[in-house]
Amino acid sequence: MLYDSDLSRVLMNYLIYWLLGFGILWAGLKLFDDEVLLIVTLFVGSGLVLAGLFSAPIVLQVGMEVFLVLNVFYICMECIKRGDSQT
C-alpha cells in the first residue's frame, strides 16, 4: 500500500524529469557548437521531457496536448499567411 509520502514522491517524478530534460535541452543549445554533441543532447533532453510527460498526471497530459495542438495550429496559420503573401 502506498503511503502519502510514497504517493507524493511518485507523482513528483515528472517534475524531476522535466527539470533535467529542459535543462539538458537548454545546455545543448547554449553550450555546444559541434553538431554531433548538439544532436545527442537534444535527443537525451527530448527523451527526458517525454518521460516526464508520460509519468505526469492525466490532467496535465491532456492540458499539454491541448496547448501543443493550439501552438501547431498557430504555426500552420502563420505558414499559410506567409505563403499567400509571397504569391
Task: Name the pLDDT band for 44 (thresholds 50, 70, 90).
Answer: very high
Same domain, 10 and 49: yes
Instruction: Specify the number of domains making up the chain.
Output: 2
pTM exceeds 0.85 for this model: no
C-alpha cell at 1: 500500500
pLDDT, position 14: 87
Q: pLDDT tens across 8-37, in order?
A: 666 678 889 999 999 998 998 888 888 888
Residue 7 has pLDDT above 70, yes or no: no
pLDDT, position 72: 82
Cβ-Cβ contacts under 8 Å for 25 (sequence gap 6 or more): 41, 42, 45, 46, 49
Of the chain, the end-to-end C-alpha distance in Å amounts to: 65
Q: What is the average per-residue pLDDT within 56-68?
A: 87
Structural domain including 44 reads: 1-56
Same domain, 47 and 68: no
Same domain, 25 and 67: no
Instruction: Name the residue type at position 10.
Output: V
Same domain, 35 and 68: no
